[in-house]
Amino acid sequence: MLYPALNTISDQLNSSIYEKWGETINGTNEIVQLNNIANINDEKNDLQNKIIFTVIKVEEETSLKNANCYTKKENSQIIKQHPPLYLNLYLLVSVTKKTYKEALQLLSDTITFFQAHKIFLIQLEDERSADIEHYRITVEHHEINLQQVFDMWSNLGNKHFPSVFYKIRLLKIFDDEEFENIKPIEKIKVQYENNDH
């Protein structure tokens, strides 16, 4: 679920940026890339002149933690499953364009894109049943202070790139294969005891 969600968002941003800039950014139509910005100095990675998506943190949405773990199927069968896990992702979006003026313009275009596109519909295909499920996620700007910015870039081992931070809310993680069949309650027997002496 993590990769399909990020891939959907990056594809849409890539289309938007390419429509404005064309191949003038790096000579290709691949502008947005899912990668670790800490690898920019690695010769094996071509992360120059791109917009890089890097996941910095994953956290559980605790407000949705106590979901019902029992489900009734159409044939009245009761199954017990662990409730879905809902996650929030903290996404660093960095612009590695060598020309600082163009890097700031690309950052501005990225912020404008997310200002206009806050909700994304993620489509997942189930290979076992050929079903298609749709999940709705939201992307919102997340503010971090100067000390956090300094600490983050120090830990990433790089000089600071023009960047912006986003929070992606409510990715659903769920394994529907792991379940236990439970026999339904069909009768209730009540027995009274007389404790009078």
3-state secondary structure of 171: strand
- Find the angle CA(92)-CA(119)-CA(129) to the nearest 5 degrees: 100
Whether the predicted model's global pTM rises above the 0.85 cut: no
Mean of the pLDDT values across residues 172-194?
63
pLDDT digits (tens, 9 = 90+) for 39-88: 988 877 788 899 999 999 999 887 766 666 666 666 666 666 677 788 89
Give the pairing of strands 70-72 and 78-80: antiparallel
3-state secondary structure of 133: strand
**Averaged confidence pLDDT in the chain:** 83
pLDDT at 69: 63
pLDDT digits (tens, 9 = 90+) for 87-123: 899 999 999 998 999 999 999 999 999 999 999 988 8
**Measured distance CA(51)–CA(185) in Å, rounded:** 56
Tokens of 115: 């200002």
